[in-house]
Chain A
Amino acid sequence: MKIAVCIKQVPDTANVKLDPETHTLKREGVESIVNPFDLFALEAALRIKEAAGGEIVAVTMGPPQAETVIKDAIGFGVDEGLLLSDRAFAGADTWATTAVLAKAIEGLGDVDLVICGKQAVDGDTAQVGPGIAQRLGLPHVAFVKGFREIENKRLVVERQMDDGYDVVELPLPALITVVREVGEPRPPSLKGKMRAKKYTVPMQGAADLGLDASQVGLAGSFTQVVKVFAPSHSGERRRLEGSDEQMGAQVIDALVDNQVIMLGS
């Protein structure tokens, strides 16, 4: 089975700070990491490969320094990587991003399964996975939490829902996005890391993919970010006074009055 895994380089949001004046992310000095949800996508791909054999290619779109996430993926044990990088890709929204990723996956040839993390922690849109499926005309299942059957031409997966999960059968080729429950990512391996050190990451730009500048980046985007801001606090604020017990009782009363909680009889 040939598997393509889409990964993204993101700032390590666990350690990111906001500029108090502009309300934008302070990126200087913040380490870049593989989007944490994409690590679950890599883990899912590695498990499927262990079960069914095959080959895994990790694909990312980003600036040249995004090659480090491809090297990280090689360290985890994927077979090949591909970096999609071009000045023309800058400013892409999710739609323009899927144009690039879909073309690149098409170019890999005979991909049986595309796996994405459910969303990226910097944009949080969860649109890129399904967008790629749309572009490639593939069936897709989002929020996959587990696999029931893995065969060459079909998968049976469990899709996480708010109130349980669905069991979905889908023919391959297909695309899935995965959630945390799919399995804890393994540590990188020594052999993988040694291979990653020597690995030259193949790079493709718009021309290599046969894409026109108008289809990618800001030009190919339907949306653009006009302003980033921290929402101002709204709603009523009340200051409680008294002993701990009294304040505790007032909190309970307020929660009950506003029907946030209900007290049992």
Chain B
Amino acid sequence: MDYFFTEEQEMIRDLCRQIAEERIKPVRAELDEKEEFPREIMKALAQADLFQIIIPEEYGGLGGGCLENCIAVEELSRACCGVSTSYAASFLGAYPMLLFGNEAQKEKYLPLIGSGEKLCAFALTESASGSDAGSIQTEAKKDGDSYVLNGSKQWITNGGEAGVYTVIAITDRTKGARGATAFIVEADDPGFSIGKKEVKMGIRASATSELIFKDCRIPADRVLGKEGLGFVVAMRTFDKSRPGVGAQAVGVAQGALDEAAAFARVRKQFGKPIITFQAVAHMLADMAVDIEAGRALVYAAARYIDSGAKDFSKVSAIAKVFPTDMAMRVTTNAVQVLGGHGYMREYPVEKMMRDAKILQIYEGTNQIQRNVIGQELNKEYGRKK
């Protein structure tokens, strides 16, 4: 299907596809097996200017939008979701600076992130605070010209690998949802350290770690937006980033179909390639239908967001829910098409199935996405009556 990309968008797709084929595919199984962070690949992505995609031109970037990001993420995910998660998480950390940073903050951090010199990360989740983001405990207290952070963050992608973190902490516990603030924390700030690195089911090439703040003192000019905007920063960031998770889903599903269809053409049973059996052919056909529907949705949502639309929480949630549920179905069926081979680590589809699962969970579980969609429907139909 032709989605009528611009020349620049085609260039992004082709370059990402080339890097995925040449650099990621040959090492993905080993990275997965060893739970090894793909530093060499991140360096190649930086050399290819891929961290510049969403950085505005005035800060040395390419000034691309949500669609350009989705195109890159989809292609990288087709080869390895662990790699694409590490890549995309840098943008997740950078979006708050793009959306709410002041001139000095943008000038200082965006060029570092765009060049790939520093990876970025976003830290909201805590051990007792997942979907209920309002219950976070990490505190930031103003003290003269600085803030002092105490607490810890859990399951932070790029934790320990990033040089710059966007951290949401409570500045005024009495104000509820308006009592949180977003801060920029640098890896070498005093009192900041990395705790446990998690051992995961999938996306094992990516680093997922605990962040510990023990009297972590940062200058007061590291506040993003202003005090009390923490959750607004987080929600606006997720609205922008969620189609990217949808793009990961489309990519991993496409990668699984690539493997399943190629296998079904060469695997013979009863004297014939198994793709000639209708039971198998229909599974592959359903996968292709699912993937194309997901892809069209992700691109349409990304284009809508890039058009300057104001209120896109619902669109963004839809562009995460459908593709990620779809990717779980498709990767599971890919394992089924490969049968016993699919269950073995020697073939890549079992990894894809393990990788796909996280997409239904992170950046807001699919249940939370449905809450968002439901709330928006309630508002829309309330207005219409």
Q: List residues of chain A with CB under 8 Å of any chain B CB.
A: 186-194, 197
Contact = CB atoms under 8 A, between A and B. Distances in A.
A190 B19 contact: no
Contacts of B52: 190-191
Given A190-B52, A194-B8, 10 more contacts: A187-B15, A187-B18, A187-B22, A188-B15, A190-B11, A190-B48, A190-B50, A190-B53, A191-B52, A191-B62
Nearest to B23: A187
Contact of A187 (B7, B8, B11, B19): B19
Contacts, number: 34
B377 to A, nearest CB: 39
Contacts of B129: none
Counting chain A CB atoms within 10 Å of each CB, the highest count among B15, B23, B50 belongs to B15
Nearest to B60: A191
Contacts of A188: 15, 48
Contact of A190 (B15, B22, B23, B44): B15
B48 A189 contact: yes
B49 interface: yes
Interface string B6-45: 0110011001001100110000000000000000000010
A161 to B, nearest CB: 28
A197 B53 CA distance: 18
For the complex, would chain A's binding face be called helix, strand, loop or mixed by DSSP majority? helix
Nearest to A46: B47
5 contacts: A187-B15, A187-B19, A188-B15, A188-B48, A193-B11
Main DSSP-derived SS at the B contact region: helix
Contacts of A192: 49
A-B residue pairs, 7 tightest by C-beta: A190-B49, A189-B49, A186-B47, A187-B48, A191-B49, A189-B48, A187-B19
B12 A189 contact: no
Contacts of A186: 44, 47-48
Interface string B305-330: 00000000000000000000000000
B52 to A, nearest CB: 7
B44 A187 contact: yes
Contacts of A191: 49, 52, 62
A60 B15 CA distance: 24
A187 B49 CA distance: 10
Contacts of B15: 187-188, 190, 193
Contacts of A189: 47-49
B7 A197 contact: yes
A189 B115 CA distance: 11
Nearest to A187: B48
Contacts of B47: 186-187, 189
A190 B62 CA distance: 9
A187 B40 CA distance: 12
Interface in B338-375: none
A250 B62 CA distance: 65
Contacts of B23: 187
Contacts of B7: 197
Interface in B78-106: none
B24 to A, nearest CB: 11
A196 to B, nearest CB: 10
A32 B7 CA distance: 22
A133 B52 CA distance: 40
A251 B8 CA distance: 58
A190 B8 CA distance: 9
Contacts of B62: 190-191
Contacts of B22: 187
B248 to A, nearest CB: 20
A192 B15 CA distance: 12
Interface string B225-249: 0000000000000000000000000
